[in-house]
Amino acid sequence: MGSGKEEKKKKPFPLAPKKVRKKKEKLKQKRSSSSNGKSTENAKSKSKVKDNQLNDIVRFPTAAQQLKFFHEQYQSTNRVQLSSLELDSFTETCMLELNPDQAQISSALADHMKVAFGTSWKEILCEKELDGKIDPGQPALLVISLSALRSLDLLRELRPLTSECRAAKLFSKHMKIEEQAASLKNRVNIASGTPSRIKKLIDMEALGISRLAVIVLDMKTDTKGYSLLTLPQVRDEFWDLYKNYFHQRVLDGALRICLYDEIPANIMRKKRNKDE
């Protein structure tokens, strides 16, 4: 039997007074609206930065814009000042301007090159038979890229021109230099590769440049934002190749340069801001 005393039921923990609860709710709402405001501001700020970055990119660079960018890169990387004589020789005619009415994407590269080589594009870029005028291993078009994978991407886009005469792959990934030298004993109209391997093949006289009329410098950036002219090691290899084999031909008017894909605008302004 029980003791007669009823056991007291445990009461739940009392709620905070109404005033306190209201205060907490208001504080929560304030914090929520504040964080939403901040996130909206951040989103706007990011959008603004993105818009500015887009404004700082030239999608269809003119010959003058390409020339200016190339000069700046050449002088800043090599720590030299081009002489007035060189600047007079190195004019807009040295640059190949692409048609802005045609989308400047890698899939359009073959069409751009047809226009660049004029009415004789088929004879220069597609014929596969060697004759008395054409020596083996002498491309008319050379595409220089940041990496082997990017070189392959651009070669795929040049397939409309390489179905009869295969393009030469000039990069080190999975390819021995001896095999490449052997393939250059045939007629070559188009070649695509990286600066280091291209230079080695020229040095060993497997690759010739006497027929070379256009070099396409691929400006596509990698996932870290580096391009052919900004990734330190590759950039140095490119300028070594350029100064040894291409610069004089450009000045002589025998070779044109095409900066393909997007290039940054206002590069000098950015550089000054960095220095400050």
Per-residue confidence (pLDDT) for residue 31, from 0 to 100: 65
Residue 231 identity (one-letter amino acid):
L
Alpha helices in the chain (DSSP H): 18-55, 63-78, 84-89, 109-117, 121-125, 148-157, 159-162, 177-183, 195-203, 232-241, 247-251, 267-275
Q: Name the DSSP class of 118.
A: G
Residue 31: φ, ψ to 5°: -60, -45
pLDDT tens per residue across span 1-49: 555 555 555 555 555 555 555 656 666 666 655 555 555 555 555 444 4
Per-residue confidence (pLDDT) for residue 106, from 0 to 100: 45
pLDDT tens per residue across span 205-223: 999 999 999 999 999 998 9
Measured between alpha carbons, how far is 212 from 70 in angstroms, rounded to an integer?
19
Nearest to 261 by CA among 228, 223, 214, 232: 228
Give the residue ranges of the chain where pLDDT is below 70: 1-55, 100-107, 266-276
Per-residue confidence (pLDDT) for residue 138, from 0 to 100: 96
Per-residue confidence (pLDDT) for residue 87, from 0 to 100: 84
Task: Confirm if 246 and 215 have CB atoms less than 8 A apart.
Answer: yes
Per-residue confidence (pLDDT) for residue 60, from 0 to 100: 76
Q: Name the DSSP class of 243.
A: I
Alpha helices in 79-194 (DSSP H): 84-89, 109-117, 121-125, 148-157, 159-162, 177-183
pTM of the model: 0.76
Per-residue confidence (pLDDT) for residue 158, from 0 to 100: 94
